[in-house]
Amino acid sequence: MARVTVEDCLENVENRFELVMLASKRARQLATGGKDAKVAWENDKPTVVALREVAEGLVTNAIMAEEALQDQQEPLYSLEATDEPAE
């Protein structure tokens, strides 16, 4: 996809305001390295990649919510006891 238009994105999102919120959240994830891109970067900025993902239907509010829930359920560290004494 050479160019991303709002109309391309609105096929997968209800309105422009939702599109802005979704694309900005996804672009922030891409820019900070929190998530991998679902499309090729092609020397684009994170905002363009996020809009391309929305236009292709790879990112929706439902998908973002599901990924956020999965991230919350993954433990950051293990609380299992070890056999090694604490120093």
Record the pTM.
0.77
Within-domain flag for 11: yes
Within-domain flag for 12: yes
Predicted confidence at residue 87, as pLDDT, reads: 63
Within-domain flag for 29: no
Within-domain flag for 14: yes
Residue 55: CATH number of its domain: 3.90.940.10
Domain around 40:
6-24+35-69
Which range has the worst mean pLDDT, 7-11, 17-21, 71-75?
71-75
Predicted confidence at residue 71, as pLDDT, reads: 80
C-alpha 64/C-alpha 17 separation (Å) is 16
How many domains does the chain fold into?
1
21-80 pLDDT tens trace: 999 999 999 999 888 999 998 899 999 999 999 999 999 989 888 888 888 887 766 666
Predicted confidence at residue 70, as pLDDT, reads: 84
- Residue 46 sits at the vertex; the CA angle it makes with 43 and 51, to the nearest 5 degrees, is 100
